[in-house]
Amino acid sequence: MTVPKRLIDEGTAFDRALLSAGRDERPSGDYERRVIAAASALPASASASAGRPSLLSRLVRPQYLAVVVAIGAGTAFLSSTSVPRGGRSDAASAATAEREVDPAPRPTTSFEANEGALLAVAVVATPDALPSAPAAAAPRASAPAAPPSAPVAASAREIAPAVASGASLQREVELLDTVKRSLRSGAHADAERSLESYDAEFPSGTLKPEAGFLRIRLLLAKGDRAKARALGDELRTRYPNGVHARRIQAALAADAGNEGQDQASPR
């Protein structure tokens, strides 16, 4: 059996670029911390202590169990009224995965039946206390505790210092996506309005070159070739390298080709 060389090493430059982009993509910054927090809230596994009384079983005494059940029931009620994206997997997904993925089902105890709800409480209460929390997460420790039903991921994102720039970038992307959609559907006036909104909101936006490229596309779509070329020249002078310059050049060249065809074709 031949073992092929991997495309990421031996493929075309284009294949390698795409595969590298996929390999390098990363989840959000606090993802690992949240998952570790959720895992830390899990009780010791049953098989870890087989053959001797487990720490868990000794902790679960009637007086504790009453508290546990009360918290579990309360949290289960709260969870049923709010299913946060990040928080969902903290509790419910573990139990769901246990049922649906577990290759070797095992008997469940009454404690474990309440476990999903318990996890939601534990995760909200404890993540910043973890010794393994990365340094970047430290400022979050002083944040006010979220209510038990609040999404863990959402609350973490609200506090994270990097989110302000991320959110504003998200807004930039949304506005420019609106421009693209309008251009695709031929709604030039809508595209223009969105571009004006972008310019007003982000006079020094991170995606300014992309906005410029879209304005060129809009001008070309409206048939205003002179302005499109003038803007193209200006942008290529300002951003001579990179993908925008190539895209502007390609758009103007394609338009020039169309113009040539228009002039050459008999009417």
Partner 1 sequence: MASSPTVLGDGPPATAVRSDASVAAELEQRKIALIRAHLTPVWGFLRRLGLSPPDAEDAGQEVLLTAVRKMDAILPGQEKRFVFGIAVRVASRRRRSTRSFTSRAVDVDLDTCEAALPSSDEILERREALELLDRALATLNEEMRTVFILYELEEMSMPEIAEVLDVPVGTVASRLARARDQFQKATRRLQSREP
Considering only residues 229 to 258 of the shown chain, the ones binding partner 1 according to CB under 8 A are: 239, 241-244, 246-247, 250-251, 254
Size of the site for partner 1 (CB under 8 A): 79
With CB under 8 A as the contact rule, the residue among 65, 76, 88, 229 that binds partner 1 is 88
With CB under 8 A as the contact rule, the residue among 75, 89, 155, 194 that binds partner 1 is 89
Q: What angle do CA 254, 256, 259 make, to 5 degrees?
A: 115
Q: Is the Cβ of residue 22 or residue 266 nearer to partner 1 in the bound state? A: 22
Helix axes 208-221, 243-264, angle to 10 degrees: 10
- Supply the minimum distance, in Å, between the C-beta of residue 257 and partner 1: 12
Q: Is the Cβ of residue 93 or residue 193 nearer to partner 1 in the bound state? A: 93
Distance (Å) of CA 231 to CA 36, 54, 124, 215: 51, 72, 52, 8
- Supply the minimum distance, in Å, between the C-beta of residue 267 and partner 1: 29
- Supply the minimum distance, in Å, between the C-beta of residue 189 and partner 1: 25
Which residues, numbered 122-161, are part of the site for partner 1 (CB under 8 A)? 132, 153, 157
With CB under 8 A as the contact rule, the residue among 60, 207, 222, 236 that binds partner 1 is 207
Distance (Å) of CA 142 to CA 31, 136, 138, 159: 19, 13, 8, 10
* Residue 102 binds partner 1 (CB under 8 A): yes
| Residues contacting residue 237 through CB under 8 Å, at least 6 positions apart | none
* Residue 164 binds partner 1 (CB under 8 A): no
* Residue 200 binds partner 1 (CB under 8 A): no
* Residue 227 binds partner 1 (CB under 8 A): no
With CB under 8 A as the contact rule, the residue among 96, 108, 126, 258 that binds partner 1 is 96
| Residues contacting residue 157 through CB under 8 Å, at least 6 positions apart | 28, 30, 163
Of 62-70, 164-172, 216-224, 227-235: span binding partner 1 (CB under 8 A): 164-172
Task: Supply the Cα-derived Rg of the chain in whole angstroms.
Answer: 28
CB 115 within 8 A of CB 74: no
Which residues, numbered 3-42, are part of the site for partner 1 (CB under 8 A)? 3-4, 6-8, 11-12, 14-15, 17-23, 25-29, 31-32, 34-36, 38-40, 42
| Residues contacting residue 97 through CB under 8 Å, at least 6 positions apart | none
* Residue 62 binds partner 1 (CB under 8 A): no
With CB under 8 A as the contact rule, the residue among 44, 129, 141, 230 that binds partner 1 is 44
- Supply the minimum distance, in Å, between the C-beta of residue 246 and partner 1: 7
End-to-end CA distance of the chain: 62
Helices (H), the chain: 7-10, 13-24, 31-40, 55-59, 62-81, 85-100, 110-113, 115-125, 152-159, 163-185, 188-201, 208-221, 225-238, 243-264
* Residue 57 binds partner 1 (CB under 8 A): no
CB 149 within 8 A of CB 137: no
